[in-house]
Amino acid sequence: MAAGTNTWGSKSGFILASVGFAVGLGNIWRFPYVTGENGGSAFVLIYLLCAFGIGVPILMAEFLLGRRGASSPPFAIAAVTAEAGLTTRWSWVGNLTVLTAFGILMSYAVVAGWVLYYFYKAVTGDMLAPSAATAQVAFDGLLADPLTLIFWGGAALLMAGTIIASGVQQGIERAVKILMPMLFVLLVLLMVFNVFVGGMPAALEYLFTPDFSKVDGSTFLAALSQAFFSIGVAMAGMMMFGAYLPKSVSIAQSAMIIVAADTVVALLAGLVIFPMVFHNGLDVGAGTGLIFQTLPVAFARMDGGAIVGVVFFLLLCVAAITSIVGLSEPVTGYVAERLGLSRRKATVVTFGALFPFSVISALTFSSWSSYKLMEQSIAFWVEYLPNQVMLPVGGLLIATLVAWRMPLSISEDELNFSDSQWFWVWSRLMRFVVVPAVFIILLTGL
């Protein structure tokens, strides 16, 4: 799976694929509910600082490791550390990122299944709910039905697997060139719709007027993990995409475009969802089920809501599938490289292994929802460990490797800034801001 056999056909294809990986349910499903749980605008401000101050430099580090090593993350890191004269045990950082991607996919496939199910309900006209209580009952009914959860989660994996099996240019690049512009246009249309329907002033105040009385260590950890989750840092995908990246493409410019696009989509999603929530007097802190418990009510109360609902859940389907593609690409690449398999066989092995774990994740929301581990549900741990522990730890280790252990000459050669001053800024930012900040946030948050 080295880069020689799989490369991006164009810079735009790479950018759109990376944005497609970054822009997903993390923006449209996770960002609004995490914002709601962490006090709104103060969280948004901290999230923006984390995304640009920490996310961009680490994303650049991932791209340079991937391109330099030209392999899946464990093999890429092993190759670069060998070149740098370091122990190849650092390749375990690559293993950690692949394992993180797999862990996130466990629960992500289930949520993607919720999205496909609600899109199906929207198309058939059964999604609208006259009240919050009715929407809650419908969502609880879905969670209580393990066979439905497993079926739709499996359908999401099948769609993503088909794209992965088709390769980089014919599968991923071709899909995102259609799906990403469609997602952006749908979001803008829904935001404009909200301007005329109502709830926008309250949403703007909630998102952009900070209340720092609600900020503590856990807020910073939530913002950092959301930035990592949303951008796709430390979950192997960006390093894998970097392995397919031609030398002529600027890593720094690409990273800025990707994070900026990702942030715009997250804020747009907030301006799509929160106006509906406020306009209809619904609960902003509804948690993981926010969009499934509130939007069916909002759509039911608006003119043309049935059509808007179909458009919105189509948008979510696009976001879900592109993110599963980005998450599963490095796992598939690793399996192909480790076992010497063709891309298609590696895809079958990867998704064949992933499906039973997604079934386990589905059961934690359903039949096993009453079981506790250290006073928390198993579903909590399935989501918490990869997202709030493994992601920041992986990001910290990648930043430490590139900033403090590797010779800076390798990074400078790979980043290839037109002005050497920019490399000086990036390297100092990595050493004296990113590494300490991630370490302190991880420590205080946990």
Tens digit of pLDDT for each residue in 90-142?
999 999 999 999 999 999 999 999 999 999 999 999 999 988 889 989 999 99
Q: Which one is predicted more confidently, 286 or 133?
A: 133
Q: 329: which 2 tokens?
A: 């690409």
What pLDDT is recorded for position 169?
63
Percent of the chain with pLDDT over 90: 47
In sequence order, what are the residues at sequence separation of 6 or more whose Cβ sits closer than 8 angstroms to the Cβ of residue 204? 271
What pLDDT is recorded for position 182?
81
**Is the pLDDT confidence value at 143 over 80?**
yes
Nearest to 37 by CA among 211, 399, 285: 285
In sequence order, what are the residues at sequence separation of 6 or more whose Cβ sits closer than 8 angstroms to the Cβ of residue 343? 1, 6, 164, 165, 167, 332, 336
> What is the average pLDDT value for the chain, to the nearest integer?
88
**Is the pLDDT confidence value at 36 over 90?**
no
Residue ranges per domain, the chain?
11-445
Q: Would you place residue 29 in the very low, low, confident or very high pLDDT band (cuts 50, 70, 90)?
A: confident
Alpha-carbon distance of 262 to 214, in angstroms, equals: 25
Alpha-carbon distance of 64 to 79, in angstroms, equals: 12
**Is the pLDDT confidence value at 1 over 70?**
no
Rounded to 5 degrees, what are φ and ψ at 333? -60, -40
Average pLDDT over residues 331-348: 93
pTM to 2 decimal places: 0.86
Average pLDDT over residues 53-59: 93
| CATH, range 11-445 | 1.20.1740
Number of other CB atoms surrounding residue 305 within 10 Å? 21
Tens digit of pLDDT for each residue in 208-229?
888 888 888 888 888 888 888 7
Q: Would you place residue 43 in the very low, low, confident or very high pLDDT band (cuts 50, 70, 90)?
A: very high
Nearest to 29 by CA among 218, 276, 207, 230: 230
Number of other CB atoms surrounding residue 125 within 10 Å? 10
User: What are the distances in angstroms from CA 409 to CA 65, 238, 358, 401, 424?
Assistant: 13, 22, 42, 14, 11
**Is the pLDDT confidence value at 198 over 70?**
yes
Alpha-carbon distance of 272 to 289, in angstroms, equals: 16
Instruction: For the chain, report the end-to-end CA distance as a whole number of angstroms.
Output: 37
Q: What is the DSSP letter of 212?
A: G
- DSSP letter string over 57-94? HHHHHHHHHHHHHTSSHHHHHHHHHHHTT--GGGHHHH
> How many residues in the chain?
446
Element (H, E) at 376: strand 376-377
Tens digit of pLDDT for each residue in 235-257?
988 898 899 888 888 999 999 99
In sequence order, what are the residues at sequence separation of 6 or more whose Cβ sits closer than 8 angstroms to the Cβ of residue 370? none
Tell me the helices (H) and strands (E) count for the chain, helix number first.
22, 2
Average pLDDT over residues 12-24: 78
Percent of the chain with pLDDT over 70: 97
User: The tokens 């497609």 sit on which residue?
Assistant: 20
Average pLDDT over residues 181-188: 83
Average pLDDT over residues 170-179: 73
Rounded to 5 degrees, what are φ and ψ at 373? -135, 115
